[in-house]
C-alpha cells in the first residue's frame, strides 16, 4: 500500500486545469454546507425546548437575506459554468500538431496503433512533451478510455469515432483503465501508458522489423479488397475518385453539403447508400462485417494520405 495516493499524479498539461475546477467545486461545496448546517446547529441549541431564549418579535422577512441567497449563488454558478465550458472546449479540441494514434477497444483489451505502423496491446508508448491525439472506436460494446494521471476519460463507442488528446509532462508509467462496465472481464481491461523521452520513443518505434505504416496497410487493402477496381483511375464503373477528398466539402445527391471526415468515410464503407455523392448512383455494396475496425482505420489513413494537404504528422508516402 505504499503506492496509495489520494490523487493521481499530474502528468499532462491539462491535469492542473481539471484539478483546479475540482478543488474549487469542493471548496464551494464545503463553504455552503457550513453556511447551511452551522446555523441549523446554532438555532437548534439556542431554541431547544425549555431554553430561555427570546422568542418574541421573530422577523418574517428580510429583503437583504433573500436577494443575497439568490444573487450570490447565481453569480457563482454562472462563473463555474463559464470556467467549466472554457476548459471543456480546450479539452475537446486537439492541437493541430498532434501525433495521431488509432485505438480499437474490444472484449477485453486495448489495441493501439501508431501512424508508423507499430502496434501495441494494453500498452501505449508516447514521447514526453508531444501532443498525442487518439481516434477511437469499439468492436463490440461501449468502453471508456481513462488515464487518471492525464485527466483523460472518453467513451469508446461502437459504430462511431471518438477522440481524446493529451500532452504528457512527466516521464513514467501510468494506469490505463476501462471505465465503462463492459462485461465479465471489465475490471481486467487495464493497461499502462509509458511516457518516454522523444529520442527513446524514436528508437522504440524503429526497433524490430520495419512494419507497414497505417496508410500503407490501407493502400494494400484498397487494392486487395477491390476498392481500386471501381475507384481507380481506369475503372469502367462510375465511382467517385477519392484523391483530395479527405477534409473537403462534399456535395451529396440530396443537395446537402457535408465535410468528408472520418465519420463520413467510415459510413460510406459500411452504409454506402446513406450519403450518395452528387452525380453518382447508389451502386456500391456494403462492406459491413467484411472489414475490421482496424482495417477501416487503415483505409481512412490511406485516403487521408491522398488528400492534398497531409496533416503534419501523417508521413507522406514517398516510396512507390
Ligand atoms: Cu471495457 Cu470496461
Residue with cell 486495448: 110
For the ranges 31-45, 156-170, 173-187, 273-287, the lowest mean pLDDT is seen at: 273-287
Is the distance from the beta carbon of residue 143 to the nearest atom of ligand 1 less than 6 Å?
yes
* Strands lying side by side in the sheet with 109-114: 119-121, 109-114, 99-106, 132-138, 162-166
Is the distance from the beta carbon of residue 182 to the nearest atom of ligand 1 less than 6 Å?
yes
Q: Grid coordinates in use for 175?
A: 494506469
pTM of the model: 0.74
- Taking CA atoms, 242 is separated from 47, 94, 137, 283, 306, in Å, by 80, 26, 23, 16, 8
Which of 255, 276, 280 has the alpha carbon at shortest distance from 267? 276
Residue 108 CA: which ligand 1 atom is closest? 1
Give the pLDDT score at 310: 47
Distance 190 CA to ligand 1 centre (A): 9
User: Over the chain, what HEC string results?
Assistant: CCCCCCCCCCCECCHHHHHHHHHHHHHHHHHHHHHHHHHHHHHHHHCCCCCCCCCCCCCCCCHHHHHHHHHHHHHHHHHHHHHHHHHHHHHHCCCCCCEEEEEEEECCEEEEEECCCCEEECEEEEECCCCEEEEEEECCCCEEEEEHHHCEEEEECECCCEEEEECECCCEEEEEEECCCCCCCHHHCCEEEEEECHHHHHHHHHCCCCCCCHHHHHHHHHHHCCHHHHHCCCCCCCCCCCCCCCCCEEEECCCCEEECCHHHHHHHHHCCCCCCECCCCCCCCCCCCCCCHHHHHHHHHHHHHCCCCCCCCCCCCCCC
Distance 30 CA to ligand 1 centre (A): 34
Q: Say if residue 1's pLDDT is above 60.
A: no
CB within 8 A of 79, min separation 6: which ones?
none
Is the distance from the beta carbon of residue 178 to the nearest atom of ligand 1 less than 6 Å?
yes
Distance 146 CA to ligand 1 centre (A): 10
Are residues 298 and 221 in contact, defined by beta-carbon separation less than 8 angstroms?
yes
Residue 182 CA: which ligand 1 atom is closest? 2
CB atoms within 10 A of CB 230: 15
Is the distance from the beta carbon of residue 180 to the nearest atom of ligand 1 less than 6 Å?
yes
Pairing of strands 132-138, 191-196: unpaired
What would the pLDDT profile of 64-98 be if each residue is shown by its tens digit? 999 999 999 999 999 999 999 999 999 888 888 88
Strand pairing partners for 165? 133
CB atoms within 10 A of CB 150: 28
What would the pLDDT profile of 32-50 be if each residue is shown by its tens digit? 999 999 999 999 999 999 8
Confidence of residue 316 (pLDDT cuts 50, 70, 90): very low
Give the pLDDT score at 308: 56
Amino acid at each position: 500500500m505504499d503506492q496509495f495516493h489520494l490523487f493521481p499524479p499530474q502528468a499532462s498539461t491539462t491535469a492542473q486545469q481539471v484539478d483546479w475546477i475540482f478543488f474549487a467545486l469542493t471548496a464551494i461545496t464545503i463553504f455552503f454546507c457550513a453556511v447551511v448546517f452551522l446555523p441549523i446547529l446554532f438555532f437548534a441549541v439556542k431554541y431547544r425546548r425549555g431554553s430561555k431564549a427570546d422568542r418574541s418579535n421573530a422577523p418574517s422577512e428580510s429583503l437583504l437575506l433573500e436577494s443575497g441567497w439568490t444573487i450570490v449563488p447565481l453569480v457563482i454558478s454562472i462563473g463555474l459554468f463559464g470556467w467549466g465550458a472554457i476548459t471543456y472546449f480546450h479539452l475537446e479540441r486537439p492541437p493541430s500538431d498532434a501525433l495521431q494514434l488509432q485505438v480499437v477497444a474490444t472484449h477485453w483489451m486495448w489495441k493501439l496503433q501508431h501512424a508508423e505502423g507499430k502496434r501495441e496491446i494494453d500498452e501505449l508508448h508516447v514521447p514526453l512533451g508531444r501532443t498525442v491525439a487518439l481516434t477511437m472506436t469499439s468492436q463490440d460494446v461501449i468502453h471508456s478510455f481513462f488515464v487518471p494521471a492525464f485527466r483523460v476519460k472518453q467513451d469508446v463507442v461502437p459504430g462511431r469515432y471518438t477522440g481524446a488528446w493529451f500532452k504528457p509532462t512527466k516521464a513514467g508509467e501510468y494506469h490505463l483503465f476501462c471505465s465503462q462496465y463492459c462485461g465479465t472481464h471489465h475490471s481486467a481491461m487495464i493497461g499502462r501508458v509509458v511516457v518516454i523521452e522523444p529520442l527513446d520513443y524514436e528508437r522504440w518505434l524503429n526497433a524490430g522489423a520495419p512494419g507497414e505504416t497505417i496508410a500503407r496497410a490501407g493502400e494494400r487493402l484498397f487494392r486487395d479488397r477491390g476498392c481500386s477496381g471501381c475507384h481507380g483511375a481506369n475503372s469502367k464503373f462510375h465511382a467517385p475518385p477519392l484523391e483530395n477528398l479527405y477534409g473537403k466539402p462534399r456535395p451529396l445527391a440530396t443537395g446537402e453539403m457535408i465535410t468528408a471526415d472520418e465519420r463520413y468515410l467510415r459510413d460510406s464503407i459500411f452504409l454506402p447508400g446513406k450519403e450518395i455523392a452528387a452525380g453518382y448512383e447508389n451502386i456500391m455494396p456494403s462492406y459491413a462485417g467484411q472489414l475490421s475496425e482496424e482495417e477501416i482505420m487503415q483505409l481512412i489513413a490511406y485516403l487521408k494520405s491522398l488528400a492534398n494537404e497531409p496533416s503534419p504528422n501523417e508521413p507522406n508516402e514517398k516510396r512507390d
